Amino acid sequence: MFRLDNRVAVITGAASGIGAATAQLFAEMGADLVLGTHSADDHDIESVRASIVRLGRRVTVVDVDVRKEEDVNRLVDAAADEYGRIDVVIANAAIARRKESSILSDIEWNDTLDVNLAGVWRTFRAAIPLMREAGYGRLLATASTAGAFEAWQEHAHYSAAKAGITGLVRSLAAELGPDGITVNAIAPGIIETPQTLDAVNSLGAEGVGETGRTQPIRRVGVPLDIAKGFLFLGSEDTSFITGQTMIIDGGRMLVRG
């Protein structure tokens, strides 16, 4: 169960953290990959590419800014041109910028929503025609416990964007279900990634460590924990699950609020 043999998956934000771990796991489970990376972020996509090649899977890397329709279309076109299909899309690219709300500018608000919410929509939109033609697809997004399930002070823009993903997947699931396409999201809790370890814009190492000491499962998540959730939702075996946002948080929501 939960194999991806001969499937093609497109993943944005694939150079680090959850995206990189998901790409690696999907390759282990038999998928070929089209990886979206944003070179301005200075993450090492080449190590991700090399790990997939060592597993004997095909991989294509595309530099993409999910704020730009033409970039997203180029990512999906690369999958169509080189593999002739797209079976799974994981819209994972996101940013987090700490800012107190009274001084949060329109530019900062719009930029975060453009990446974290509209970027998901653009990626899904580009893939839908090919999936409809095939009568099969798995559209998946990285949401967050922040926004839909808990507050995150000084991150109103991030929380609003991530909460919006929950509504997006529900509506798209109802619209696309007749076409054989399921649409779901995962809401991670605190996962140890370069983003959460950023003490300026997120929790930093101290905050991550405190979370691990206080939540029911006495550790924070690692990217592979979320990748396994995406493997579950991205497989053929979960064809009756759609419109859902799966919380994977080590029990954090059980003791928050």
pLDDT tens, position by position, 209-234: 888 899 999 999 999 999 999 999 99
As a whole number of angstroms, the distance between CA 79 and CA 137 comes to: 14
Task: Give the amino acid at 45.
Answer: I
**Structural domains of the chain in order of their starting residue, each with its CATH number:** 8-255 (3.40.50.720)
Structure tokens that stand for 69 in this block: 């329709």
Burial of 81 (0-12, 13-18, 19+ CB in 10 A): exposed
Structure tokens that stand for 178 in this block: 């007749």
pLDDT for the residue numbered 73: 98
The model's confidence at residue 252, banded by pLDDT at 50, 70 and 90, is very high
Positive or negative torsion for Cα 186, 188, 192, 193: positive
Higher pLDDT, 210 or 47: 47
pLDDT tens, position by position, 231-246: 999 999 999 999 999 9
Structure tokens that stand for 187 in this block: 């809401």
Rg (CA), the chain: 17
Is the separation of the CB atoms in 221 and 177 below 8 Å?
A: no
pLDDT for the residue numbered 195: 86
DSSP 217: S
Residues annotated as catalytic (active site), given as ranges: 158
As a whole number of angstroms, the distance between CA 37 and CA 197 comes to: 20
The model's confidence at residue 257, banded by pLDDT at 50, 70 and 90, is low
Residue 139 sits at the vertex; the CA angle it makes with 134 and 141, to the nearest 5 degrees, is 165
